[in-house]
Amino acid sequence: MFVQAQDLPWQQGYYGEGRADVEMKMLSIDEAGTDATTIIRYPAGWRRNDTEYLSCHEEFLVLDGALTINDQRYDKHTYGFLPAGFVRNRAASDDGAVLLTMFYDKPVVQSGEPPPGLFDPRLLVDYVNPLAMDWDPGLVDPQLSAGVAIKPLREDPYTKEVSFLYMSPPHRVPPGMAKPQWTHPMVEELYTIEGEYVWGDCGRMGPGGYAWWREDVYHGPAGTDTGYHLFVRTVNGPLVNHFDTEKKPFVWNPEFRPQLPDSVKVYAKPYTRPPNY
C-alpha cells in the first residue's frame, strides 16, 4: 500500500513455466509463490499457433496494445477471465500488448488438450468491453462520497469475489477536509489506470499505482483532486466496507509512507506528476 508499477523492474518470462519470450513485472505474489498479480508485456509479432492451456486461472485487463486469443481480439481496456484448462488454439499480438494479469496459481503452459474436469465453464468471462458500458453509481456503497461509479467485470459464482472498474470525478474532497478511515474483511486490490488517488496516510497514487490492501487494515482518509479510473479486485470474498467512527484530517500532499514487503520497498519512490502543458 502502495507502489508505482513504473518503478518495478522487468524480468524475462513468467514466474512459472513457459512464455520465456514475454516480459513481466511482479506487482505482488503470495508467500507460497503461487498466486500473483503481474504486468505482462507481449512483444510485437508475438504468436502461438499450437494448442495449449494454462494450469491456472488467468484474469487480465489490457493496459495497452491488443492481444488476440483464438478468434477474440482484446483491445485496450478490455477484460477477460480464462479459467484453468481454457484451450488456446492460437494467440497473437501483431503490434505488442501490455496486460495487467492475475494468476490464480503458478502459471504453467501445457501443450495439447486439458485433462477432463480441469476447465470450469461457470468461471469463464470470455470478453468484456468496458467502453461499451455505462457507469453505474447504483453499485457503489452508499457510505462513499457521491459521484463515484462502477463498471462490473466479473463475480465469482462460488466465492462472490468481484472485479470491476471504479471511477471518481475530480475535486472529490472530503467534507470539511476530514473523513473516516476504512477497511475490509477481504483483500482489495487496486490498480490506477488513469488519474490520481490521494491517501492521507501513505501518499498520492498516480497512473500505474498499485495496492494490495490487506484484510482489516485501516487506511485513509482519501480523496482526489484530478479524478481517477481504477481496476479493483477482491480476494477471499465479496466487497464489504467497514468505516471507522472517528474522522481524521485530510491533506492533498501527504508524505509518501508505503507499507510494502522489503523486496518491493527498495524500488518504491514518491509519485511525481508529469506536466500537462
- 179 lies in the same domain as 74: no
- Condensed to tens digits (0 to 9), the pLDDT of residues 124-133 reads 999 999 999 9
Give the Cα separation of 128 and 113 in Å (integer). 25
- Condensed to tens digits (0 to 9), the pLDDT of residues 203-259 reads 999 999 999 999 999 999 999 999 999 999 999 999 999 999 999 999 999 999 999
Percent of the chain with pLDDT over 90: 89
Q: Is the pLDDT of residue 186 over 80?
A: yes
Give the Cα separation of 71 and 54 in Å (integer). 18
Give the Cα separation of 111 and 8 in Å (integer). 31
Residue 271 lies in a domain: no
Residue 156 lies in a domain: yes
Give the Cα separation of 215 and 187 in Å (integer). 5
- 208 lies in the same domain as 93: no
Nearest of 258, 261, 218 to residue 28 by alpha carbon: 261
Residue 41 lies in a domain: yes
- 149 lies in the same domain as 57: no
Q: Is the pLDDT of residue 82 over 80?
A: yes
Q: How many domains does the chain have?
A: 2
Domain of 190: which CATH number? 2.60.120.10
Mean pLDDT of the chain: 95
What is the predicted pLDDT for the residue at 175? 66
Residue 276 lies in a domain: no
Q: Which domain holds residue 7?
A: 3-129
Confidence of residue 174 (pLDDT cuts 50, 70, 90): low
For 86, other C-beta atoms within 10 Å of its C-beta total 22
Residue 147 lies in a domain: yes
